[in-house]
Amino acid sequence: MHRRGVLGGLFGLPLLAWGATRDPMPSVMWDYHRLRLLGDGPFVFDERVRVNVPPFAEDSRQVPVEVDARALPGGFSRLLLWAELNPIPHVLSLYPSAELLPVLAVRIRIEQATPIRAALLGEDGVWHVGSAWIDAAGGGCTAPSVVRAQPGWEERLGQIHAGRFERAGNQRLRLQVAHPMDNGLIGGVPEFYLDRAELRSADGEVLARLDLFPAVSENPTLTLEVHGHRDLQLWLHDNNGNEFLAAL
């Protein structure tokens, strides 16, 4: 009986290690995107990285995605988000300060049913990956722009609407920016999108830096949560060189 128990424990070890890196979806594109975005460093699929999406994308041009990794111990140095089967998969990269919580919400485009991935680089040097599946009728990346069909959209370009909500000493920020976020997949319409953003304190300290990609929806919304810091600023830049700044 003792030998059987020891053997069972030994055989269980590789199963646990293998299960931690086995794709829970699975997806034929996982290995490609892992190497392209995460490199060849260690990773683990981690249920503590929660990726919340609706079961079906009613509007494939405006799909809400929430990432909540507050259950992970310690801090993180990077967060990547991508939609695996999109023609433009990469949604954003987030580089946080110590004051930023591992909570993020954004609206994205999806072209078809796809896995959505969020990967956080923890203090342990390991990428912790959360996954979700969203079904869709498709076409969100190649549908005509709603923003460009609205009269006077150029005059509203870069306008920022924001709400701030206090939660147990933290500030949750919900932002919406007027911008078409053209992805270059519509005939005759070149790429025109917000490519960088910074959340700053009142004295200019960068609390979060984001690299944005055209998979983000038009008139993008973004939710972040920061500890302390009641007076904040949002700086934005697009690929045409326009800059926008708003006090929150």
Question: What is the predicted pLDDT for the residue at 230?
Answer: 80
The C-alpha atoms of residue 177 and residue 153 are separated, in whole angstroms, by: 12
Say yes or no to pLDDT of 67 above 90: yes
Question: What is the predicted pLDDT for the residue at 11?
Answer: 31
CA–CA–CA angle 216, 174, 172 (5° rounding): 130
CA–CA–CA angle 72, 77, 81 (5° rounding): 80
CB < 8 Å & 24+ apart, contacts of 161-169: 162/234, 162/246, 162/248, 164/230, 164/232, 164/248, 167/225, 169/227, 169/228
Determine how β-strand 76-83 pairs with β-strand 160-167.
unpaired
Q: Which of 15-29, 33-47, 103-117, 164-178 has the lowest mean pLDDT?
A: 15-29
Q: Which residues fall within 8 angstroms of residue 53, CB to CB, at 6 or more apart?
A: 63, 64, 65, 66, 116, 132, 133, 134
Say yes or no to pLDDT of 210 above 50: yes
3-class secondary-structure state, position 149: helix
Condensed to tens digits (0 to 9), the pLDDT of residues 132-176 reads: 999 998 899 999 899 999 999 999 999 999 998 888 889 999 999
Its pTM stands at 0.90
Do 201 and 231 touch, CB atoms closer than 8 A?
Answer: yes
Question: What is the predicted pLDDT for the residue at 166?
Answer: 87
3-class secondary-structure state, position 13: helix
CA–CA–CA angle 244, 223, 216 (5° rounding): 65
Say yes or no to pLDDT of 218 above 90: yes
Do 90 and 53 touch, CB atoms closer than 8 A?
Answer: no
Question: What is the predicted pLDDT for the residue at 168?
Answer: 82
Alpha-carbon separation of residue 159 from 87, 126, 245 (angstroms): 28, 38, 9
Question: What is the predicted pLDDT for the residue at 148?
Answer: 92
